[in-house]
Structure 1
Amino acid sequence: MRRLFAFLAFFCAFGHPAGAAVFDARPFTLDNGMRVVAIENRRAPVVTHMVWYKTGSTDDPFGKSGVAHVLEHLMFKGTAAVPDGEFSKIVARNGGTENAFTSRDYTAYYQNIARDRLELVMFLESDRMRNLRFSEQSFAPELEVVKEERLMRTENSPAALLAERRDSLLWGEHPYARPVIGWKKELAALTMEDAERFYDAHYGPDNAVLVVAGDIDADELKPLAEKYYGAIPPNRAPVEKKPFPTSYPVTGKIEMHHPQVHLNSVQRVYAVPSYLSKDKRAAFAFAVLEEVLGAYHSGKLHRRFIDGTKTARYAGASYDGFAADRGVFSIALHAADGVSPAVLER
């Protein structure tokens, strides 16, 4: 499932990679510009229904970081046809599960449900694509939920705080420097109007991809997609995507000490080509390098620092190439007892 979601994120946001053949993805486009992808899998009479919007935290206006993620929460707050809080209840009553997530480059909503309930979730999702209701009564408490989420996942997590500072240094003025959940002060200052403007600008069929995977094929899906999504007009307030600022090499060092952390660790992070970069060969090379260096037991880092010098209790490498701009390659080492970070840095 993780592999499928990674593929879908790349497919929906950026195009038609070679991996489409692995999942037998069958794409087509509606008259209003919405792309649709059918991924047939007849192993069980169930489907996963997803809508991926080609927008994320990189589109947060300057000084209003976090608004894309706040809107994700508000998408469950109801329409004229589906009252506040009923979306999730309806899906659950029909035996399904659902969720949503926001990233830097895309925002996605999905439901897992029986094949004979597919039209129900298609109605629910298409309805909130253009008919979401905004009110201070729903916005204010949901903003507090997101602020608490930041408190729990970021403010109370030394690793997350370090990641924020690392990304800020690595990316500089690039939108990737901003946390998806938003900076604390900017998040607190967001208004309902900010969320509504973001919704009007970025949520529409011509800026979205519908994916249905499971007990269905493209011929079966097309009339349903036209019925529920085809009648929605293209985005009424389109916003032109701004080009990413030029990335320049940055060399910096962050040292962080936290009273809750008693583990010494060292991490090196590099901005590198992604799968969308002109030099795609470099992207595939970094994917291979991730395995060469970071594979458990057999990777060069494990063999050197854990099996060899015994100076680390963990050694790994990671490559994230699924990005609209540049990707990230990182190496991480957790020091063994009594070993200082300086030893690992050498």
Structure 2
Amino acid sequence: MRYQADDKRYEKMVYNRCGRSGLKLPATSLGLWHNFGDSDDIENARKMVCRAFDLGITHFDLGNNYGPPPGAAEENFGKILSGELGGYRDELVISTKAGYLMWPGPYGEWGSRKYLTASLDQSLKRMGLEYVDIFYSHRPDPDTPLEETMGALDNAVRQGKALYAGISSYPPDMTRRAAEILRDMGTPCLIHQPNYSMLNRWIEDGLLDVLEKEGIGCIPFCPLAQGLLTDKYLKGIPRDSRAAKDGTGLPEDAVTEEVRKKLVSLNDIAGDRGQSLAQMSLAWTLRDSRVTSALIGASRVEQIEQNIAALDKLEFSDDELARIDAILKGK
């Protein structure tokens, strides 16, 4: 039977305006960094994407290098787009990025106009799309003039290959300059995608202030610290966890006894709120009005359902926030 989206998909999801733009994003967006590669189960991927859409998630975030191998996540998402989601393109916000290594030689990574342009063309082909909604510079390039990188984003928008331009992992001063360059070109910077969670709060030291002043949205990735902010590590390192596997981005030494004790204390607060640690962590990320959406990942449908349930309780009391801060600061 052909997939038919849930008629009530927009009733419970929260949608937030992205900066000062006209675009709204769901409070939780689905990232395809992990679990959508060729070594993963495509049928499970289909189920996750469709269930996410049924629950009101309209934004699906990709990158040219997502897999494995690089490009595989875009290809697999393209199959889902041409199948189950074929009739819903105008209800979707699809983003991709370029910045990390994709092919050998001097034009296969970083931020040159040549690389970004070629990469976007390849991404569109893999997904079977005429345009993406958001095209990101995935990381700052220390050797390419910022004007060239931003010019490539502007060119992608003017060519109709992207509707909006975004940046990821740019520090505050470079973000301010990038926004100025894009604004002068007539293509405002829509959104910034930084790494942000209870355990990684760097964006609070200036970046959020820049985003607010420039009218740029914020969509943190790794709001659960790659699984650390879940109940998985409360008693140590399980064998099937990311910290027990090589090449998954979470080193085993990330789960120290000090970190574990913090997780246990945070979990106690989450329990008092009637939430799981993951749900409270997502709600905490969204506590700041400058944060547009939290980018979640998942390996199964149930995780998506559980994460979206975080939206049922987004408010924090002053006492809860103070207790969380004390735990995070080791007091």
Question: TM-score, normalized by length of structure 2?
Answer: 0.26
Question: TM-score, normalized by length of structure 1?
Answer: 0.25
Report which of the two structures shows the higher radius of gyration computed on alpha carbons. 1
Say which structure, 1 or 2, has more relative contact order (CA 8 Å, 6+ apart).
1
Higher strand residue share: 1
